[in-house]
Structure 1
């Protein structure tokens, strides 16, 4: 399995709206891809800036390609991101998931 992590920064005054955008637009986009196992959006406020991490788990590189295209490490952006983001980081990070455990619901 692959864990894909994207980082973005917004002005803190726009962070609530951006979080809502991610929930309503980005999460359904991820979930529509066969092979996406999980999506988490994390937020950390730091002064006047808010950091967002999108953490997704995928069954394989082929599944990531269905989402991101041929360049697996290239970040994927939406046109609406221009309203929120302070910069556009060109790449994401991938990690192999070597162990995991979850508490049953």
Structure 2
């Protein structure tokens, strides 16, 4: 299993609106892709008017990530609405191999997402 992570930053006063957009675009597209095992959107108020967002998703393997992201799986995928909300973002994503023992906890988390 592969974990895929991306980070971006929004103004805190626009967070709720942007969360709705992300859930309706990227997160729902993650979850609809065969081989995706779940996805969560994490947020963290930085206390200075900025909020950090992290998308974290779990995938069967790199091939199913390619089905979602295209051949360059390191390149972050954006939607037209993102430009209105994100004042900073990572242009790449990180991939991590989920080690044995972590998959059962991830499966439970994916069922809740």
User: Deviations for 1:44-103, whole angstroms, at most 9, x for unmatched residues?
Assistant: 011210100000000010000001111111100001001100124210111000031436
**1:22 paired to 2:22:** yes
2-structure distance, mates of 1:41, 1:22? 8
CA RMSD, aligned part only?
1.6
Number of residue pairs matched by the alignment: 105
After TM superposition, list the pairs within 5 Å mapping 1:34-53 onto structure 2. 34-46=34-46, 47-53=48-54
Worse-superposed segment, 84-93 or 45-54: 84-93
**1:12 paired to 2:8:** no
5+ residue gaps, structure 2: none
- Kept in 1: contact 2:40–2:56 (CA 8 A): yes
* Superposition TM-score, scaled by structure 1 size: 0.92
Moved over 2 A (4+): 101-105
After TM superposition, list the pairs within 5 Å mapping 1:47-62 onto structure 2. 47-62=48-63
2-structure distance, mates of 1:40, 1:89? 17
5+ residue gaps, structure 1: none
